[in-house]
A and B are shown apart, each in its own frame.
Chain A
Amino acid sequence: MDAALGAFAMSLLLLVCTAAVRVAGSARSARDRRLTDLWTPFFLGIAPEPPAPRPHRRDRRAVLALWNRVRSAMRGEATRPLVARARQAHLHDVALSLLKSRRADDRLNAVAAVGTMGLPSALGPLERFARRSTSSITLRSEAARSMLRLHAVRSLPTVLELLRTQPDWHPALIASVLEEAEPDAAALGVVNEAGGAEWRGDIEMASRFLRVLPAVASDACLPGVRNLLDNTDSADVQAACLSVIAHFADRRDARNVRRYLHSPVWFVRVQAATALGMVGTLDDEPALTALLADSEWWVRQRAAEALARLAGMAGLAPDDLAIVFEHHPEVGRFAGAPYSPMAEVHP
């Protein structure tokens, strides 16, 4: 009976706690709304002065998060006035102190803020965050971004070294980190890393770095990619190089690409056909037509797409295009389809 009464007493306590939590939650929501109303006009430049010389200790976390929300809608030079307003409201002190917070969301907000605010003293802590394997991927990648925002030239080698040790980072994530660096420098750095990995025999890492290059969006990588393509025996690296060449579509690569149309590895032929569609000419029609009889459906599809593309790029009149399609029905089928068929096994 005592145990039952004890449990009921516990229920009563929980009831009181729940009611108290509701009251506290309502108060917190009201305070957050008030802070947003007070600080947003200042961050957007509508109000010239901050609502307070510096945020109250209790509010600093919410104010910095609000500043970050406003910042996330801006890029590059557009952030300058916002950074000046952060200094005016002493948010740089807030950001530096929140780097040591026990709460992960505070640390993430602080990591993002210090990079944009340009606080060089944060470079050390950022590097530690980026390297800490126990942190979340979002925090580590944001720390790497902030390092590049703070000092792109100095941080790029460190970030590239970091990327080398993160096999679980998706290429899109790596690309989004490198967006913060100067594109030519990032492209050269990535292609060097890819070359180094290939030399060490780490084919997966080399391919991963190469796949990032299209997103870095600088053709400064092309000489390095050509060099790698010429000197590698790995089919994975060849395919990755050809996909980079297809992306940048430099016609000088056509001769090099043609060499891989007859690779014994089907996915190299896939990439070669795609690349030739981007860098080739109508003279490549016979070679691509031959690939329409390839044993791999993906090669056939890419060859058909390449033919359609070359025909289109050559400015063929609709009648001439019709002749191409008549001779090669696959070309018409694939070129005309609004979606990519992923299978040949029909129900």
Chain B
Amino acid sequence: MRHAVHVAQWVTLAYFLSVHGAYFVLDLIAFLAVGRSVHNRDTLVAYRRSYGLEPPVTVLVPAYNEAAVIVPTVRALLQLDYPQFEVVVVNDGSSDDTMRVLDEAFGLEPCPRLYQARLDAAPIRGVYIARSTAALRVVDKDNGGKADSLNAGLNVAQYPLFCAVDADSILQRDSLLKVITPFVEDPTTVAAGGTVRVLNGSEVSEGFLRRPRLPRNRLARIQVVEYMRAFLFGRVGWSPLRGVLIISGAFGVFRRAEVVEMGGYRVDTVGEDAELVMRLHRHCRARRRPYRISFVPDPICWTEAPEDVRSLGRQRIRWQRGLAESLLGNRALLHQPGVAGWVAYPFLLIFECLGPLVELAGYLFVVAATLAGLLSVQALLAFLLLAVALGTVLSLSALLLEERWFRNYTEPRALVRLLGAALAENLGYRQLNLVWRVVGLFRFVSGRHTGWGHVRRVSAAAG
């Protein structure tokens, strides 16, 4: 028995060390990559802008019951600082006044010719063009989910690149200019994502972020640090290695021809964003096309984070389920040589997808073994302290990266509050998250459906 406990103890410890070790490596890569990217960022954007060389982009906005925010969101999108773009709003059979408020604000004119059925989508009720600006198109369709709405939007899109944006996301005026950089610098780029940040507490007016501020709500503040860590290490760290497997559904730019050629978004998954990126890897590799999927470290999209435990739990359960679905659906990536298939995919599978099971089992085992007297209290304490300390180091290094290159939160008190959140993240929040992720895995196995997954709005953006 003691021997079994000894082995289990070492397995748990080895898992903890390997997961944190892997994150430290990504951490180091991100430090180097972000530095190089940020040095160039403004200069490159400035030079490109003076010659107007950005490719035209279609901004797709799927909307389900977004009557409260859709008009300011669209107005803000139409004012993006970008030479040539169009906005396509897809109303996914909303039961509220989404269509009516759009019509009242922009004056919609029926224009069915704009719709080209390249991808399957739920039945279309109407396709409209705004009287006030030809850059706004609206598709009204039966309810079919977010992925289905994006496919319908792609049937109206006319530009070579498209950007999928959540209707409740807030962009910065120069978001498109920044995220488009990989497409200009490397014509083989097929997708690029940007860092998403927590909007709660920030000053928003007329659909634009005026000043980032930390949320008053503690749960949201912890998520600020969590998002920093997840995006700066989890995504940016993979970019130079060509191993980006997830681009957030809240903001990502894709080459339309590739996505249409693959059959568009899959409608039978809740993680359509990650699934699309993994399928893009497979698609390009299978055709032996040179390609790149990049990630831009700049914070370019701000989104509402849940401020109550219930909403947060629902969100995390949905995310975990989506990740599991995406990984399972794209397991063929493992047979395709390269960082994406042989390094990033196993990393996601072992540490992000199955990791919560191992980690939770580890916590339970250590506590149970201590209670049974098979493990000393000192060993239990050492294990818990190590888990917390390693997590804190990762959170703090994300904070250091943010402070060095972005400095979004300039108030003197903000740094202290962020440091507090970085510590709090590892004392309770991470463990709670673990439970939700395990539930998400069980939901994936049991096949229980989750819908659009709205977050209850709390910030000024809602107004």
Q: Which residues of A contact B (CB under 8 A)?
A: 1, 3-5, 7-8, 10-11, 14-15, 17-19, 21-22, 25, 65, 69, 72, 103-105, 108-109, 112, 136-138, 142, 168, 170, 172-173, 176, 338-339, 341-347
Contact = CB atoms under 8 A, between A and B. Distances in A.
B289 interface: no
25 contacts: A1-B378, A1-B381, A1-B382, A14-B393, A14-B400, A15-B419, A18-B396, A22-B407, A25-B404, A105-B44, A108-B43, A108-B44, A108-B47, A137-B184, A138-B48, A142-B47, A170-B53, A170-B55, A170-B187, A172-B53, A342-B113, A342-B114, A345-B116, A345-B117, A346-B113
Range class of the B interface residue count: 35 or more
Contact of B184 (A4, A138, A142): A138
A14 B396 contact: yes
A7 B185 contact: no
A3 B50 contact: no
B404 A173 contact: no
B393 A10 contact: yes
Interface string B115-151: 1110000011001010000100000000000000000
A339 B129 contact: yes
A344 B113 contact: yes
Contact of B115 (A17, A168, A339, A343): A343
A72 B381 CA distance: 61
Interface of B: 36, 39-40, 42-44, 46-48, 50-53, 55, 111-117, 123-124, 127, 129, 134, 158, 184-188, 378, 381-382, 385-386, 389-390, 392-393, 396-397, 399-400, 403-404, 407, 415, 419
A104 B181 CA distance: 15
Nearest to B125: A347
Contacts, number: 123
Contact of B404 (A10, A21, A105, A170): A21
A153 B186 CA distance: 30
- Across the A-B interface, give the 10 residue pairs with the lowest CB-CB distance, nearest first: A7-B389, A343-B116, A4-B385, A347-B124, A14-B396, A105-B43, A341-B113, A4-B386, A176-B51, A1-B382
B89 to A, nearest CB: 16
Contacts of B188: 168
Given A18-B399, A136-B185, A176-B51, A346 B40 contact: no
Given A1-B378, A4-B386, A345 B400 contact: no
A19 B419 CA distance: 10
A170 B50 CA distance: 16
Contact of A7 (B40, B123, B390): B390
Nearest to A69: B46
B116 A173 contact: no
B399 A104 contact: no
Contacts of A339: 111, 129, 134
